């Protein structure tokens, strides 16, 4: 008798429906995984760090397509559908979900794979866009691995966020 083959697949959720979809998939007996990352949220002059979906509107589900009733996922409350080719979902390449899980810290937050490309305060140059050839100071890494740079424009500091490839040391 052969072992069941469980692969990871991507579930597309309704807007802000990741938690609802996760709960309902698990309630139906599916193995589901929602990676979360830490985000800074400001409200009423207060700032706090919260766990939010690392990939907004997406989560993973482990399935054996030949043995499970996976079509039920499409009608699960909170789910928009499965990412696939036609009627059949496409598997996530082997090792991707395991790699994401291996980067979780003690709080359950997924940390970025790469360390920051520059030291805080290091002088960097903008390579692309309307601020091309401007020089500033590296101020950190934001969401989606975008780089924060502090520039001096017209005698005032200006914080800009740029793609990683648009900044060099």
Determine the pLDDT at residue 39. 78
Q: What is the pLDDT, as a whole number, of residue 113?
A: 60
> Given this model, what pLDDT does residue 1 score?
43
The string of DSSP letters for 92-155 reads: PPTTHHHHHHHTB-TTSBBPPSSPPSS-TT-EEEE-SSTTTT-EEEEEEE-GGGPEEEEEEETT
**pLDDT, position 103:** 84
Q: Which fold has domain 123-168?
A: SH3 type barrels. (2.30.30)
In the CATH scheme, what is the code of domain 7-102? 3.30.70.940
Question: Domain segments of the chain: what residues?
Answer: 7-102, 123-168
What does the pLDDT read at residue 22?
A: 96
- pLDDT on residue 89: 93
Per-10-residue mean pLDDT for the chain, 169 residues long? 72 95 96 88 79 92 89 93 89 90 84 74 87 87 79 84 84
Per the confidence metrics, is the pTM higher than 0.85? no
Integer Cα distance of 139 and 151 in angstroms: 10
Phi first, then psi, for residue 145 (nearest 5°) are 60, 25
Question: Whole-angstrom Cα distance, residue 29 to residue 41?
Answer: 33
Decide if 109 contacts 51 (C-beta within 8 A): yes
Angle at 14 (CA atoms; ends 92, 53), nearest 5 degrees? 60
Residue 144: predicted pLDDT = 66
Widest distance between CA atoms in the chain: 74
């Amino acid at each position: 008798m052969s072992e069941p083959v469980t692969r990871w697949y991507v579930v597309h959720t309704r807007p802000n429906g990741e938690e609802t979809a996760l709960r309902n998939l698990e309630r139906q007996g599916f193995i589901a995984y929602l990676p979360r990352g830490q985000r800074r949220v400001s409200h009423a002059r207060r700032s706090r760090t919260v766990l939010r979906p690392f990939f907004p509107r997406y989560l993973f589900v482990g399935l054996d397509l030949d043995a499970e009733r996976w079509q039920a996922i499409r009608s699960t409350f909170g789910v928009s559908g499965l990412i696939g080719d036609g009627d059949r979902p496409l598997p996530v390449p082997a090792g991707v979900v395991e790699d994401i899980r291996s980067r979780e810290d003690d709080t359950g937050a997924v940390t970025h794979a790469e360390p920051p490309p520059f030291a805080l305060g290091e002088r960097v140059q903008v390579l692309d866009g309307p601020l091309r050839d401007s020089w500033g100071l590296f101020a950190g890494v934001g969401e989606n691995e975008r780089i924060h740079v502090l520039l001096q424009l017209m005698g005032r500091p200006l914080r800009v966020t740029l793609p990683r490839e648009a900044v060099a040391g």
